[in-house]
Amino acid sequence: MQIRLEKDASIIVLEIELIGKTGKCKVDMALDTGATFVMIPWDIAESLGYDPASSPARTIITTASTIEKAPLITLEQVRVFDVEVDNIKVVVHDLPPKSRVDGLLGLSFLKHFDINLHFKKGSLEFRDP
């Protein structure tokens, strides 16, 4: 799967489909190879049928200003265009209000694919290894 990118963009934003216990939704996420997990906001996790506060699994995250513990949940599926990962661990944490995206597409998704990022050509490609 190949996706066209703006060559001069300062952030790579992708429309992601999240599928949870009770529904699905589309969100904008930044491609983030420095994020260990996919990150979604609390309100989205709750709208998909999860209660992040009661999740026994936690992970430590480093934000721009602090280090925090955040809940981990397992989504039914995360889909980017025609590629998907089932039963995927995601961290639940709100990005700052002025963020241009709802969440981060991190390594818990990306590690399932070979990814070719061609800045000069303006394309991003996901391939099953």
pLDDT in tens, 17-73: 999 999 999 999 999 999 999 999 999 999 999 999 999 999 999 877 889 999 999
pLDDT computed for residue 127 by the predictor:
86
Distances from the Cα of 100 to the Cα of 12, 103, 106, 117, angstroms: 11, 9, 16, 21
Q: pLDDT by residue (tens digit) across 77-116?
A: 999 988 999 999 999 999 988 888 999 999 999 999 999 9
Q: Where do the domains of the chain lie, and which CATH numbers do they carry?
A: 13-117 (2.40.70.10)
- Residue 109 and residue 88 in contact, taking contact as beta carbons nearer than 8 Å: yes
CB atoms within 10 A of CB 53: 10
